[in-house]
Amino acid sequence: MSVLVVGSVAFDSIETPFGARREVVGGAATYFALAASCFAKVQVVGAVGEDFGPEHRAVLERRGIDLLGLERLAGRTFRWSGRYSYDLNSRETLDTQLGVFEKFDPRIPQPYREPRFLFLGNIDPVLQLSVLQQVKRPELVGCDTMNFWIEGKLEALKRTLAAVDMLVINDSEARELAREPNLVKAAAVIRALGPSTLIVKRGEFGAAAFGGAHPFAVPALLLDSVSDPTGAGDSFAGGLMGYLASRASDGPVDEAMLRRAIAMGSVLASFTVQSFGVEGLLDLTRERIDERYEEFRRLSHFHDA
Amino acid sequence: MSVLVVGSVAFDSIETPFGARREVVGGAATYFALAASCFAKVQVVGAVGEDFGPEHRAVLERRGIDLLGLERLAGRTFRWSGRYSYDLNSRETLDTQLGVFEKFDPRIPQPYREPRFLFLGNIDPVLQLSVLQQVKRPELVGCDTMNFWIEGKLEALKRTLAAVDMLVINDSEARELAREPNLVKAAAVIRALGPSTLIVKRGEFGAAAFGGAHPFAVPALLLDSVSDPTGAGDSFAGGLMGYLASRASDGPVDEAMLRRAIAMGSVLASFTVQSFGVEGLLDLTRERIDERYEEFRRLSHFHDA
């Protein structure tokens, strides 16, 4: 089963206390697609500039990712550069150049118009809705957003949320969207806006999910070396959606399946942060993923008192 | 099996967005003792002033806590007052009056001198070591500390750490003590100072532990109502040590037992934060604790991929 993702493809320049990379292939859709590709076929809808050459496309194509929907427009590819603090818990954006991304108006190619799994990356909610209008209603629609849209396009965002099944956002953004500091109450507010499932990303503290009969929460894997947190959240979402797509033949997504998918998302994010940029995702095998999944279960399980 | 705790007993004045309390019985040893009393007999060594009357002692005595070691000194009881931010994630200390706590020099009464489980609350590390010198070496010595001692009495703290089995501290303080932002590396540095087990308190994000063959991490319970975070960490430590003491007849503490104890500590902390001050601990039954423990397992477990 395949996953369709719509979002940014970019050149990132990253500085952390452990090193730096200049203009490497990044962007939310890139991390998502590479992580999801460990489990399922992935189709990408995005826009790049004339400076995005075959060597850049190859980063994704080598993992079997379908780039039919990656438009090449006149101009330059979206560029982001940022620097992380000594403990990696905060970052400063040094420069953002939207380039062709400013004019991005996603067009879904004919062969992509009946996706069973669709993920609307963190772009203008008006564009997210436009994507939904171009496809047959998928089995599962996931969606990301951020404070910029919560603060600047709340009404459009609410229209998008009314049409999706699952929102995957950061802890602080969930509280901001709901205007409610308590996460459990915030989850109820957000689910009333549309998405039956809310998944909350908590960075180095893991993730939480609301939607089944019982809430779910996991810590993050404890890693003795973290090089670069860029793309962790997008890798998490990609691992999660990719895993769900790979299990689609098992029937509708139930609570146990969603929990396993969140754990898989956590595993994929852990590989991302151990290396720079997307490097940690490029050579992943299912065997290494499954090993780390077992490590994650060992990390967090306890038994009868 | 009983637990001996040495630490502060205080009058707390607390303001949160959900209410306020004036001069209620608090202090680290109080929260610890009340939480531990759900599982085991508890003995308290501390100091209070002449203003600490029978009605205040009764808060602890009603839970069967032994106050033979609670000295009554000339002067006033330690007073702390603080105010929490709207999301409860930060607090401002409004006033601290040490009172008799300034002269506190713990003397262990004769009947307490062979404790099997000892917890050294967050006091001057010189006093923590003095306590250890007054007792027969316990089976398990736990210890708390804070940035004030890390910054002001590091050499004394290192002497204490060299003599304890388990350090229970906040996430940021673990990193500060080790001078290492990565928690896994910080844990190795701290364990090399003495304690074979490090338990890291992460507030609303749960806890982590290093010491067994595998690291351990849990989220915190997700609560739809948090009234007052005061004493959460001390309740966590009390639940943990009390549970271990209650299972002492099962043999030495192994990894599985430690995990269950950390989960029990998390459960006790969750009851504390749902009410003001110590109120959430006063009427706890083992049945309610065990129910919430099962809820905690449901919260955080996932299965084979």
Q: What is the pLDDT of residues B32-42, one digit of tens each?
A: 999 999 999 99
| d(CA A99, nearest CA chain B) in Å | 36
How far from A111 is each of A36, A114, A219, A257, B137, CA to CA, in Å? 19, 8, 39, 28, 73
Mean pLDDT of A95-115: 95
Identify which of A86, A185, A259 has the shortest CB distance to residue B302.
A259
User: Inter-axis angle of helices A232-246 and A255-274, to 10 degrees?
Assistant: 140
Would the CB atoms of A86 and B181 count as touching at under 8 Å?
yes
Q: In the structure, what pLDDT confidence band is assigned to residue A56 with cuts at 50, 70 and 90?
A: very high
Give the residue carrying structure tokens 């959430």: B280
Quote the CA–CA distance of B157 and B145 in Å, as a whole number. 8
Nearest Cβ partner of A224 from B185, B222, B304?
Answer: B185
Contact (CB<8Å) A303/B256: yes
- In eight-state DSSP terms, residue A88 is S
Angstrom distance (rounded) from CA B246 to CA B224: 30
As a 3-state breakdown, chain B gives helix, strand, coil percent values, each rounded to 5, of: 40, 25, 35
As for the ipTM of the complex, it is 0.94
Q: Is B274 on the interface with A (CB under 8 A)?
A: no
pLDDT tens for B199-241 read 999 999 999 999 978 999 999 999 999 999 999 999 999 999 9
Task: Dump the DSSP string for B35-52.
Answer: HHTTTSEEEEEEEE-TT-
Closest to A222 (Cβ–Cβ): which among B215, B225, B256? B215
Q: For residue B79, name the pLDDT band (cuts at 50, 70, 90).
A: very high
A303 has pLDDT over 90: no
Q: Is the pLDDT of residue B86 over 90?
A: no
Residue A288 confidence (pLDDT) above 80: yes
Q: Which residues in A lie closer than 8 A to residue B185 (C-beta atoms)?
A: 224
Band (pLDDT 50/70/90 cuts) for residue A217 is: very high
pTM above the 0.80 mark?
yes
Tell me: the pLDDT tens digits for B107-145? 999 999 999 999 999 999 999 999 999 999 999 999 999
B264/A contact by beta carbon, under 8 A:
yes
Identify which of B234, B209, B230, B242 has the alpha carbon closest to the alpha carbon of residue B123: B234
Q: For residue A126, count other CB atoms closer than 10 A to its CB.
A: 14
How far apart are alpha carbons A32 and A62 in whole angstroms?
A: 15
Instruction: Please state, in angstroms and rounded to a whole number, the distance separating the CA atoms of residues B29 and A120.
Output: 51
CB atoms within 10 A of CB A234: 33
Is it the case that residue A94 has pLDDT exceeding 90?
yes
Which residues in chain B have their CB less than 8 angstroms from residue A220's CB?
217
Q: What is the mean pLDDT of residues A222-242?
A: 97
Interface test with A, best of B300, B303, B304 (most A CBs within 10 A): B300
Contacts of B216 in chain A (CB under 8 A): 299-300, 302
Label residues B232-269 b or e (16+ Cβ within 10 Å = b): bbbbbbbbbbbbbbbbbeeeebeeebbbbbbbbbbbbb
Contact A302 B259 (CB under 8 A): yes
Burial class (CB in 10 A: 0-12, 13-18, 19+), A22: exposed
CB contact under 8 A, B299 and A175: no
C-alpha distance from A256 to closest chain B C-alpha (Å): 7
Share of chain A above pLDDT 90, in %: 94
Chain B residues in contact with A254 by the CB 8 A cut-off are none
The answer to whether the Cβ–Cβ distance between B214 and A299 falls below 8 Å is yes
* 3-state secondary structure at position B7: coil
* Tokens describing residue A84: 């992380």
Expressed in angstroms, the distance from the first to the final Cα of chain B is: 41
Beta bridge partners of B197: B166
Q: Which residue of A300, A303, A304 to mutate against B (max B Cβ within 10 Å)?
A: A300
A8/A29 Cα distance (integer angstroms)? 5
| HSE-up of residue B167 (Cα within 13 Å, Cβ side) | 31
